[in-house]
Amino acid sequence: MTWQKIVTPVLIVLAATLAAGNPLQGDEQDDAVQKAFALRMEGKAEEAKALLEEILSANPQNGAALFELARTGLHIGLGRPRDMVGSFQESVKAPIDKAASLDPKNSQYALFAAHMAFMSTYMSMKGPGWQVKENVAKMCAAYESAFAIDPDDLRPMLCLVEIYGVLPENMGGDKAKAEVYAAKIEKQDAVFGAKARSLLLDDEANRIDYWRTVLEKHENNADVLEELGKACLYGEEFDEGAKYLDRAIDADGKRNFLLLDLGRFHLIRVMRDESAKEAALPVAEAALKRYLDTDPIGPLEAYTYELLAKIEMGRGEKGGIEEMRKKANAIDPFHSMASGLPSLELFVPPGEAYSGHRYLFRPL
């Protein structure tokens, strides 16, 4: 099956100091933002949000606090997806846009702002066509700004290839622009160039053969192994896909999240075809339990239990659903309820850069 068909945390003293009217300065503010992040990782997102709001009441120009507030807002929103559409602008987009405007040379803020522009646009896609096209133009401008800040980071340009290459013309797509950006990427980095070119392949193209050819030139490259593994999954070569994803994890130990992708893929199979349940659910469960064995951070551990609850749902096991969701809520009551993997940008400590890339429109 083609991917197109699947689409679519100590706090008390700090708080008392702030409440007493003694705003923190300098390093103390940085420490407070770190504590807010730590709170969120402990499953206390609401406390993290309250702390960040206290910091910003003392210093509304604190870009790091604004960035963390936006990430916290998105974290909470993913745990309450029904509420996120109405609160997204105020709780997520406004703070990251302000952070980016206060520090216009900060590439991390700029790229996160662009990604949030994408989310805003995605949520508008059920509205009138003219509104979507206008939002797509703003989103593309945000990615162009992110690339201008750090031309060595090809991720924003790769996002532009995807946007212009995937969307239809009446929604802002532009194949010619996609080709121009893809050619620029190819000149700077062969693997990213291959990813860009893959976005422009015809629906009938054999993506497994495409990525096998790329792997011949870039042996043991984690990006290529990941791409080939996922191409095999989409091409229903399930065992081969799992083997290549394991090789990608061996090549880059930070890619344990690929086990989540593997589990999610087989869950999607069942959602699309209930007759695949007997074969797919055990494979999904095994991949997710392997991920739990890697000792993931709290929010992703909780998310994994939510996926396991969905497996129990597929089996019709009400008791299993309740058990898995009880575990998830005990770890993080705001764990993501979205079907897609929550943005890994949310889980990088403040001051550290996230260098990963995920496609915008693909489920894996």
- pLDDT confidence of 1, banded at 50, 70, 90? low
Measured CA to CA, the distance from residue 283 to residue 298 in angstroms comes to: 23
Q: Look at residue 143 and tell me whether its pLDDT is greater than 60.
A: yes
Going by the DSSP 8-state scheme, the letter that residue 91 receives in this structure is: I
Higher-pLDDT residue of 14 and 132 is 132
Measured CA to CA, the distance from residue 307 to residue 103 in angstroms comes to: 38
Measured CA to CA, the distance from residue 241 to residue 125 in angstroms comes to: 32
| Residue 70 included in any domain | no
- pLDDT confidence of 129, banded at 50, 70, 90? low
pLDDT average, residue stretch 354-361: 96
| Residue 317 included in any domain | yes
| Residue 343 included in any domain | yes
Going by the DSSP 8-state scheme, the letter that residue 89 receives in this structure is: I
Report the pLDDT value the prediction gives residue 4, as an integer from 0 to 100: 45
Q: Look at residue 346 and tell me whether its pLDDT is greater than 80.
A: yes
| Residue 135 included in any domain | no
Q: Look at residue 2 and tell me whether its pLDDT is greater than 70.
A: no
Question: Token pair 């010619």 is at which residue?
Answer: 176
Q: Look at residue 127 and tell me whether its pLDDT is greater than 70.
A: no
Report the pLDDT value the prediction gives residue 241, as an integer from 0 to 100: 98
**Angle at 52 (CA atoms; ends 330, 99), nearest 5 degrees:** 120
Q: Are 127 and 135 spatial neighbours (Cβ–Cβ below 8 Å)?
A: no
Percent of the chain with pLDDT over 70: 91
| Residue 344 included in any domain | yes
Number of domains composing the chain: 1
Alpha carbon separation from 82 to 167, 275, 304, 336, 337 (Å, rounded)? 25, 30, 20, 12, 10
pLDDT in tens, 78-113: 999 989 989 999 999 999 999 999 999 999 999 999
**CB neighbours of residue 106 within 10 Å:** 19
Does the global pTM surpass 0.85? yes
The whole domain housing 338 covers: 266-351
Report the pLDDT value the prediction gives residue 124, as an integer from 0 to 100: 83
Q: Look at residue 9 and tell me whether its pLDDT is greater than 80.
A: no
| Residue 291 included in any domain | yes
- pLDDT confidence of 125, banded at 50, 70, 90? confident
pLDDT in tens, 19-73: 233 344 556 668 999 999 999 999 999 999 999 999 999 999 999 999 999 999 9
Number of H helices, E strands in the chain: 19, 0
pLDDT in tens, 194-239: 999 999 999 999 999 999 999 999 999 999 999 999 999 999 999 9
Q: Look at residue 172 and tell me whether its pLDDT is greater than 90.
A: yes
Structure tokens at 205: 């193209």
Q: Look at residue 12 and tell me whether its pLDDT is greater than 60.
A: no
Measured CA to CA, the distance from residue 18 to residue 24 in angstroms comes to: 7
| Residue 345 included in any domain | yes
Q: Look at residue 133 and tell me whether its pLDDT is greater than 60.
A: yes
